[in-house]
Homo-oligomer: A and B are copies of this chain.
Amino acid sequence: MAISDTLKAISDPVRRQILELLRKQSYAAGEIASQFELKPATVSYHLKLLKEAGLITERKDKNFIYYDLNASVFEEVLSWIYSLKMGGEHDEQK
């Protein structure tokens, strides 16, 4: 929920690719996992981090879990970057 979690989440290339996958549509965990040369458990770990950062939401249907992108979380990152670009003030971070 903090900018720290967001930036940590997108610092990993696997997690960025997951977000890119979800750009257009939802996918079930298994469909996401099949895109990588990683075990489902590993992808599940990445999904958990993305979920904790608020970058994706989950939705259960049958015994599938579908994931959706939530790009609104990026607002905080954008304003942090803008504040640097503009040399203006900005909320402190802990």
Contact = CB atoms under 8 A, between A and B. Distances in A.
Interface of A: 4, 7-8, 10-11, 13, 16-17, 19-20, 23-24, 69, 71, 74, 77-78, 80-81, 83-85, 87-88, 90, 92-94
B8 A11 contact: yes
State the oligomeric state as a number of copies: 2
Nearest to A78: B81
Contacts of A16: 7, 80, 93
A4 B13 contact: yes
Contacts of A4: 13
Given A7-B11, A23-B83, A78-B78, 16 more contacts: A4-B13, A7-B10, A7-B16, A11-B11, A13-B93, A13-B94, A16-B93, A17-B93, A19-B84, A20-B84, A20-B92, A23-B84, A69-B84, A71-B85, A74-B81, A74-B85
